[in-house]
Structure 1
Amino acid sequence: MNGAAPTSVDGVQTFPNQTSEHVTGTVKYDALPPVGGDHSVTLLNCGVYSENVPNENAVHSLEHGAVWVAYDASTVTGDQLAALRKVIPSTYAILSPFSGLPSSIVASAWGAQLDISDPSDPRLAAFIAQYRGATTAPEPGSPCTVGLDGPGKVS
């Protein structure tokens, strides 16, 4: 993992000053998928999921330095989904479908987000390399396991 503050990746939007309180219940997030904010006390175990995962748990994983790559399951299928799975690291990363995305694929980290349309876009790998474990997350390196397995966990 990186551990350093991220450098620029073309097209990344930043969302500074995210809150990071543990709460119960649902949270209304400004950015979807969320890029930070108040979240569940229970983190989402990092991994690959075939179903939408709970935002509040995924945000807790972002707080620990994970990246969350969400995709539109109606447009990213077959070979594209297989290619996307190959880009996802085995630790500190979440891959899941997400309803209502602004593009086919959205990569999120604490306070940062990138919209892309193709898993082979080199900016996706650059985003993951720059933001996974970055010091911009409130608790980088804290566990991304021993939490909740969301619905449809594949690996």
Structure 2
Amino acid sequence: MPKDGKPDEPRNARGASGRGSSASSGRDGSAASGRGGSRPAGKGGAGKGPAAKGGRTRPTANVVSPQRPWGLIAAAIAVVVFAGAVLTYAVLQVRESEANEAGDPGDIAGVQTYEYAAGQEHVTSVVDYAESPPVGGPHEPAPGWADCTGTVYDVDIRHENAVHSLEHGAVWITYDPEVLSEDDVSTLADLVDGENGRMMSPYVGLDAPISIQSWNHQLKVDSVDDERLEQFADLLTLNGDYYPEVGASCQNPDFIASPRLAAEDAAPTAEGGAAETEAAAG
């Protein structure tokens, strides 16, 4: 027994007490430590960890290519085509209206009118025409007309063949090749090229820069820019009121292939004038 009178604690009791206290302290510390440390760990793990970033995936978007509006495109094309047709019709109507404004060849200033009757004589000889270029009278027999389907000749064609074309309703534009420039000739050709019922050729010895004629009508001008040229051509090309053989053909491919030339003729052997109306078939 110790000197203070208190009995000594058993050794194993002290050890147990120390261990118990230590264990209790350890549990409390572990628990506290666990509680205190689990919250930050939980927050960090739930909000910022790699698992959180990879946990949600964005759904794959379906890429759809835009479709061409073929219906609208087709409709637009149809509108353009229709507008072009309307414009073309309007232009033709204006041209016809401008031609009809003259009404009569005599309404075009400067037009000379003649009186060659239908049924002129057919001849194979050279004709001494009263007018130059001629506007009617005896002429080459069938099929001897010059092609007049919008034909531009670069040679002085035989006049007897040209007059036969006038009888079929053609308008014939002639020019002095010594006076007109290449550009002037090209401008004249625009009135003829591709226009059925028209033809054009140089005319050696012409007494004016340009002369345009149909059956019984003629106009001479100084410039290719004279608007009366187009008025004359529009009014009298294949105009059934002003030529004898309505409906006769202007087509003659053989003449295009091998045109007869005025230079082939020697001295004239037949006379033709406004009073000459000898009948002939065709």
1:9-48 residue pairs with structure 2 within 5 A?
9-18=108-117, 20-41=120-141, 42-46=144-148, 47-48=151-152
Distance 1:98 1:18 in 2: 25
TM-score by length of 2: 0.50
Q: Which amino acid aligns with 1:136?
A: Y
Greater helix proportion: 2
Aligned structure 1 segments of 4 or more residues deviating by more than 3 angstroms: 4-7
Are residues 1:127 and 2:226 paired? no
Distance 1:62 1:81 in 2: 21
TM superposition shift of 1:141: 3.0
- 2:116, 2:136 within 8 Å by CA — same for their partners in 1? no
Number of the residue aligned with 1:65? 169
For 2:163, what is the secondary structure of its paired residue?
helix
Number of the residue aligned with 1:136? 242
TM-score by length of 1: 0.89
Structure 1 gap segments, 5+ residues each:
none
Give CA deviations for 1:21-48 in whole Å, capped at 9, x if unaligned. 2112111100011001010011111211
Q: Which amino acid aligns with 1:59?
A: V
Number of the residue aligned with 1:104? 209
- 2:175, 2:202 within 8 Å by CA — same for their partners in 1? yes
Stretch of structure 1 that moved more, 14-23 or 82-91 = 14-23
Number of the residue aligned with 2:255? 148
Q: Which amino acid aligns with 2:124?
A: T
TM superposition shift of 1:71: 0.3
Number of the residue aligned with 2:220? 115
Query: Using CA pairs below 8 Å that are at least 6 residues apart, which structure has the higher relative contact order?
Result: 1
Stretch of structure 1 that moved more, 15-24 or 107-116 = 15-24
Structure 2 gap segments, 5+ residues each:
1-95, 262-282
TM superposition shift of 1:101: 1.2
The verdict on how the C-alpha distance between 1:98 and 1:18 changes in structure 2, with shifts beyond 3 A counting, is farther
Greater strand proportion: 1
Number of the residue aligned with 2:23? none
Q: Which amino acid aligns with 2:136?
A: G
